[in-house]
Chains A and B, each alone.
Chain A
Amino acid sequence: MSDGVRMHDERAAEPLRGQGELLLAGGRMLDPASGTDQHLDVRVRDGLVAEVGSDLAAGDAEVVDCAGLWVTPGLVDLHTHLREPGFEHAEDVASGSAAGAAGGYTALCAMANTDPVTDTAAIAELVARRGREHALADVFPVGAITKGLRGEELTEMGEMRRSTARVDFFSDDGIPVADALVFRRALQYATAFDAVICNHSEDPDLTAGAQMNEGEVASVLGLPGWPHEAEEVMIARDLILAAGVGARLHVPHVSTAGSVEIIRAAKAKGVRVSAEATPHHLSLDDELVRSYDPVLKVNPPLRTEADVHALRAALADGTIDCVATDHAPHAAETKDQEWEHAPCGMLGLETAFAVVNTELVASGLLDPLTAIARMTTGPAAVRDVGAHGGPIEAGRPANLAVLDPQATWTVDADRLHSRSRNSPFHGRELTGRAVHTLLRGRFTLRDGQVAASAAQPQEETL
Chain B
Amino acid sequence: MSTATTPRPLTDLLSIEDLDAEQVTAILDTAERLAEIAARPIKKVPTLRGRTVCNLFMEDSTRTRISFDIAAKRLSADVINFSAKGSSVSKGESLKDTALTLKALGVDAVVVRSSSSGAPVQLKRYLDVPILNAGDGWHQHPTQALLDLYTMRTHLGDLAGRQVGIVGDVLHSRVARSEVQALQLMGAEVVLVAPPTLLPPRIDSWGVRVAHDVDEILPHLDVLYLLRVQRERMHRAFVPSMREYARTWGIDSSRLARLKPEAIVMHPGPMNRGIEISGDVADSDRAVITEQVANGTAVRMACLYLLLAGAAASAENDDDRDPAPAPAAASDQARDGAEVEQ
Contact = CB atoms under 8 A, between A and B. Distances in A.
Interface of A: 208, 211, 214-216, 218-225, 227, 291-294, 333-334, 336-341
B117 interface: yes
A222 B137 contact: yes
B201 interface: yes
Given A216-B202, A223-B137, A336 B117 contact: no
Contact of B116 (A216, A333, A339): A339
B88 A222 contact: no
A339 B201 CA distance: 19
Contacts of A333: 89, 94
Given A336-B94, A338-B119, A219 B200 contact: yes
Given A219-B200, A219-B205, A222-B177, A338 B118 contact: yes
B118 A339 contact: yes
A340 B116 contact: yes
Contact of A215 (B90, B96, B201): B201
Contacts of B202: 215-216, 219
A216 B203 CA distance: 8
B200 A340 contact: no
Interface in B183-239: 200-203, 205-206, 236
Nearest to B236: A208
B90 A221 contact: no
A341 B206 contact: no
Nearest to A289: B118
Contacts of B177: 220, 222
Contacts of A341: 88-90, 116
B95 A222 contact: no
A211 B115 CA distance: 14
B113 to A, nearest CB: 12
Nearest to B172: A222
Nearest to B124: A292
Nearest to B119: A338
Nearest to B88: A341
Given A337-B89, A339-B117, A339-B118, 6 more contacts: A219-B205, A222-B136, A292-B117, A293-B122, A334-B89, A338-B95
B121 interface: yes
Contact of A216 (B87, B96, B205): B205
B174 interface: yes
A338 B88 contact: yes
8 contacts: A211-B117, A215-B201, A218-B200, A219-B205, A223-B118, A227-B201, A291-B121, A292-B122
Contacts of B236: 208
A341 B94 CA distance: 10
Chain B interface extent, by class: 20 to 34
B138 A214 contact: no
A222 B177 CA distance: 8
A184 to B, nearest CB: 27
B114 A338 contact: yes
Contacts of A334: 89
Nearest to A341: B88
B95 A219 contact: no
B55 interface: no
B140 interface: yes
B139 interface: yes
Nearest to A225: B201
Contacts of A294: 122
A282 B174 CA distance: 32
B201 A219 contact: yes
Closest 4 interchain pairs by CB?
A222-B138, A292-B118, A222-B139, A338-B116
A208, A227, A293, A339: which has the most chain B beta carbons within 10 Å? A339
Interface in B95-133: 95-96, 114, 116-119, 121-122
Nearest to A342: B88
A292 B95 CA distance: 13
Contacts of B96: 336
A337 B117 contact: no
Nearest to A291: B121
Nearest to B206: A219
A214 B202 CA distance: 8
A249 to B, nearest CB: 29
Nearest to B205: A216
A292 B116 CA distance: 11
A334 to B, nearest CB: 6
A218 B116 CA distance: 13
A294 B89 CA distance: 14
Interface in B64-93: 87-90
B205 A221 contact: no
B88 A221 contact: no
Contact of B95 (A214, A227, A337): A337
A338 B87 contact: yes
B208 to A, nearest CB: 12
A221 B118 contact: yes
B17 to A, nearest CB: 8
Nearest to B199: A219
B89, B118, B137, B201: which has the most chain A beta carbons within 10 Å? B118
B203 A219 contact: yes
Nearest to A209: B236
A222 to B, nearest CB: 3
A208 B237 CA distance: 13
Nearest to B90: A341
Contacts of B138: 222-224
A337 B98 CA distance: 11
B58 to A, nearest CB: 8
A292 B114 CA distance: 14
A337 B88 contact: yes
Given A221-B139, A333-B94, A334-B89, A340 B203 contact: no
B201 A222 contact: no
A291 B236 CA distance: 29
A220 B89 CA distance: 26
Contacts of A208: 236
Interface string B47-74: 0000000000000000000000000000
Contacts of B117: 211, 221-223, 292, 339-340
Contacts of B89: 333-334, 337, 341
A272 B308 CA distance: 64
